[in-house]
Structure 1
Amino acid sequence: MKKQNLLLALFSSFLFISCNKDDNYETLPTDSYPNVIATFGTNLDLNNLQNYANQTVPAYITKDNSNGNVITDKAATLGRVLFYDKKLSTSNTIACASCHKQALAFGDDAIASQGVNATTGRHSMRLVNNRFATELKYFWDERAANLETQTTMPIKDHGEMGYSGLNGDQSFSDLIVKLSAIGYYKELFKFVYGTETITEARIQNALAQFIRSIQSFDSKYDVGRATAPNDGAPFANFTAQENQGKNLFLTPPTFNANGSRTGGGLGCAGCHRAPEFDIDPLTKNNGIIGVIGSAGTIDVTNTKAPSLRDLINPSGTLNGRLMHTANFTSLQQAIGHYGNINIAPGNTNLDPRLTPGGIGQQLNLTNTEVQAVVAFLQTLTGTNVYTNTKWSNPFPN
């Protein structure tokens, strides 16, 4: 009887501990993951996961496009491995991280990114703060319905990662067979999903969770916004120039019948909405209609843009060129473009906010105004996203 009572007590204690521990992942002996340990060493500790699920998000950030695929520490960890794994390409030379580099706020400094068979048709977007946007569609032309769908499209692209199933390429099913034979994926998929089975949906969910976890809210702007009643109020930690730039960014312009600005600001926030600085889903073409490597062709379908956060890095240099054509190499050039909108022949999709009265807007910018807006945009840069190990390459160099 005493033995039964002892066993009952031990069982009850086990239930209590099991029900009250962090149920986001299961703690197992380290030797349960021999392939993970052999491959990643101390770079990946499944018994001590990085915090992806419960990161601090400022109270003034209200947008979240997780769309039911809520971030967990387990799946985001798997997503990190997938994001950096070059085995997801047919040549074992290209990973998602090849075109989206942590040092550049997960953007690229190349005009077009190199794939296994070709370069990308458009400049690669920065991925920082993807979760905090209203727009659910992805790619510059919004051809992917959501981030989950987007994550495997480059993998299935002939030029980018090569598993297209066309033009002699292997198919995505071949990739699943390939990954299923890798020891660390057997362990990671079982760790996350309970079985070793690899599917496209599981890959998509894990990659999307990792990408949505990449956030940047430690900028000078965030320090000021945390104590201000709203975005429009002066920020106590800003210089006069930075507050002027913020006011110009937020305030809509007024125009005369000729499309020339007569007052107000630049109205940037009409499309790039504070405090997330994401793109308005209703935004149309911004007047940039070029095609990389094709001077005689136009493309008016580009209507999405990344967040304006972390346009530059802490060193003060751009995190890659700007626009889908990568033809702007400075913030001044980008601001100047909006200051003098030219309605190019064939651009049937130009955003009407850029054409007051049907005429391309003329903001008549002064150098003082341009420099003020540049100063403000520089306040949107954080530091943590560039160095935090949870977003870094888990594979040994």
Structure 2
Amino acid sequence: MTINKLLGITVFLILISCSGDDNNVDVPDDGTESSVLQQIFGDNIDLSNLYNYANQDIPVYITKDNTDTNVITDAKATLGRVLFYDKNLSVDNTIACASCHQQAFAFGDNANVSTGVNGVTGRHSMRLINSRFARETRFFWDERANTLEEQTTQPIQDHAEMGFSGQDGAPDLSDLLVKLADLEYYQELFEFAYGNTTITEERLQESLAQFIRSIQSFDAKYDIGRAQVQNDNQPFPNFTDQENLGKTLFFTPPNQNGAGCITCHGAPEFDIDPMSLNNGVIGVFGDPTATDLIVTRAPTLRDIFNYQGVLNGALMHDASAVTMVAAIEHYNEIDATGNTNLDNRLRGGPGANGQNLNLTQADILALEAFIKTLSGTNVYTDTKWSDPFVN
């Protein structure tokens, strides 16, 4: 054997030994380098086998849909999922959308106010469950965002929340777009979803909104019962007597000895009436002397509780109701004094001094029992809505 052949064999053996565990790049069986997506997300993001976001089953009795022209696609919702969970969307890489809207709490927060990069949120984080099916197309407690798309990038640009505000020397949204463009996995994801790697605020809004609208919950005890009857006014065969009583009180107007909840929280979506004004809760978290009269929106009543019957966090924008009984008791007796923005439906009878429903303790507990039937199970564990960065 010649010296050249011996040298060739030696070099070959050295190359083999160098291709072992010390190599930072995984080499699949087919001999090609794994993509950046595989390195970052493992099996959580598979562009050849996307989760079903676009064609999920929706009950025939659900008729509301605020999608408008931003129709959900699996590709863009997948991109939206990554953006939703990515802490790179905050200035110091510590806060993601999912930090304040957690899957474990129906995409809300069990903290009274949520922690941001420069402080805390001004109001309790609203649950995002079933956002697609809200009659009210404006978002935030004070409805300052005209669409869900517009809402998605406002927390990113909030100085306290995610920090790309441009205030006090902080970077602004244009800096975020440059930051994301430098991340290789976004080059792959935007190319896949949009056909090129260009990242814009509009594309962030579009894909984040698609992912959020895909988050739905229609496997509750209520849905099982509703499918067995012609309408909500009939007793549900799968309900207890207490749950059916609570349903009747929920749907019956106050002048007929009911609670009249249905006038503001329309079934079967149980979202808020777009014409609603303030609900009588005017507090500001952490400041007992301040008032907040401009809160006129609320999340759906679905999944206020989790599937174990535990609240997914305090109720109301100021987290002032820590139990459902406390929230119902608020509506049982409302003082209209000093509230110039109180919804007329809560002003009561002659004199308009405030609502007094005269609900008994048994009535209140029945209403609570009914509201618990609005909670599903799948939304808390379904992988397609989970954190793709967790391997």
TM-score (ref. length: structure 2): 0.90
Q: Partner of 2:254 in structure 1?
A: 253
TM superposition shift of 1:227: 1.4
Determine the C-alpha separation between the residues in 2 that align with 1:266 and 1:296.
Answer: 30
Distance 1:188 1:278 in 2: 33
1:135 aligns with 2:136: yes
| Residue of structure 1 aligned with 2:309, choices 308, 316, 336 | 316
**What is the distance in 2 between the residues matched to 1:131 and 1:227?**
24
Instruction: Tell me, in whole angstroms, the C-alpha distance in 1 between the residues paired with 2:244 and 2:376.
Output: 18
Contact conserved, 1:64 with 1:132, CA < 8 A, in 2?
yes
Name the structure 2 match of 1:375.
369
Kindly state the Cα deviation for residue 31 of structure 1 after the two structures are TM-superposed.
6.6
Mapped contact 2:219–2:378 kept (Cα < 8 A): yes
Specify whether residues 42 and 299 from structure 1 end up closer, same or farther in structure 2 by C-alpha distance, changes over 3 A only. same
1:39-85 Cα offsets, whole Å, 9 max, x none, are 10111111000000000000000000001101100000000000000
- Residue deviations 1:270-325, cap 9 Å, x none? 00000000000000000000111111111100000000000000121100100000
Structure 1: unaligned runs, 5 residues or longer: 1-28, 255-262
Find the aligned partners of 2:337 and 2:230 in 1 and give their Cα distance. Answer: 41
Quick one: which amino acid aligns to residue 386 of structure 2? Answer: S
Secondary structure of the residue that 1:43 maps to in structure 2?
coil
In the aligned structure 2, how far is the partner of 1:322 from the partner of 1:30? 55
From 307, 315, 322, give the equivalent of 1:329.
Answer: 322
8 Å contact from structure 1 (residues 86, 95) kept in 2:
yes
Question: SS of 2:42's equivalent?
Answer: helix
Q: Aligned partners of 2:32, 2:128: CA distance in 1, in Å?
A: 35
Change (3 A) 1:142 1:294: same
Q: Specify the code of the residue in structure 1 equivalent to 2:249.
A: L
Tell me the residue number matched to 2:71: 70
**Residue of structure 2 aligned with 1:340, choices 333, 344, 348:** 333
Off by >3 Å, runs of 4+ in structure 1: 29-33
* Kept after mapping to 1: 8 A contact 2:190/2:196: yes
Q: Could you tell me how far apart the structure 2 residues matched to 1:275 and 1:33 are?
A: 46
The SS at the match of 2:279 is coil
Distance in structure 1 (CA, Å) of the matches to 2:186 and 2:369: 45
Q: Could you tell me which of 342, 350, 358 is aligned with 1:350?
A: 342
C-alpha spacing 1:63/1:172, structure 2 compared with 1 (3 Å)? same
1:157 and 2:158 are equivalent in the alignment: yes
* Identity among equivalent pairs (%): 61
CA 1:30 to 1:48, structure 2 compared with 1: closer, same or farther past 3 Å? farther
Structure 2 vs 1, CA of residues 167 and 60 (structure 1 numbering), >3 Å: closer, same or farther? same
Task: Give CA deviations for 1:13-61 in whole Å, capped at 9, x if unaligned.
Answer: xxxxxxxxxxxxxxxx997971111110111111000000000000000
Q: CA RMSD in A?
A: 1.3
The whole-number CA distance in structure 2 between the counterparts of 1:40 and 1:209 is 20
Query: What is the letter of the counterpart of residue 271 of structure 1?
Result: C
Partner of 1:182: 183
Q: Is the 8 A contact 2:85 2:388 kept in 1?
A: yes
* Contact 1:311 1:378 (C-alpha < 8 Å) held by counterparts: yes
State how far apart, in whole Å, the 2-side matches of 1:31 and 1:109 are. Answer: 45
Whether the aligned pair in 1 keeps the contact of 2:257 and 2:357 (CA below 8 Å) is no
Per the alignment, residue 294 of structure 2 pairs with: 301
Kindly name which structure, 1 or 2, has the bigger radius of gyration based on alpha carbons: 2
**2:112 aligned partner:** 111
Letter in 2 for 1:308: L
Paired amino acid for 1:353: R
Counterparts in 2 of 1:362 and 1:112: CA distance versus 1, 3 Å: same
2:386 to 387, 392, 396: 392
- Equivalent position of 1:359 in the other structure: 353
1:268 is aligned to 2:261: yes
1:25 corresponds in structure 2 to none
The answer on whether the counterparts of 2:276 and 2:296 sit within 8 Å (CA) in structure 1 is: yes
Deviation at 1:359, TM superposition (A): 2.3
> How far has the Cα of 1:364 moved from its partner?
1.1
Measured in 1, the distance between the counterparts of 2:353 and 2:225 equals 37
Counterparts of residues 37-56 of structure 1 (less than 5 Å):
37-56=38-57
1:32–1:204: structure 2 CA closer, same or farther, 3 Å change rule?
A: farther
* In 2, Cα distance between equivalents of 1:214 and 1:240: 31
Matched, 1:279 2:272: yes
- The 3 A distance-change label for structure 1 pair 141 and 30 is farther
Alpha-carbon distance in 1 for matches of 2:32, 2:321: 51
Contact 2:337 2:353 survives alignment (8 Å) = no
Q: Specify whether residues 30 and 174 from structure 1 end up closer, same or farther in structure 2 by C-alpha distance, changes over 3 A only.
A: farther
Structure 2 gaps of 5+ residues are: 1-29
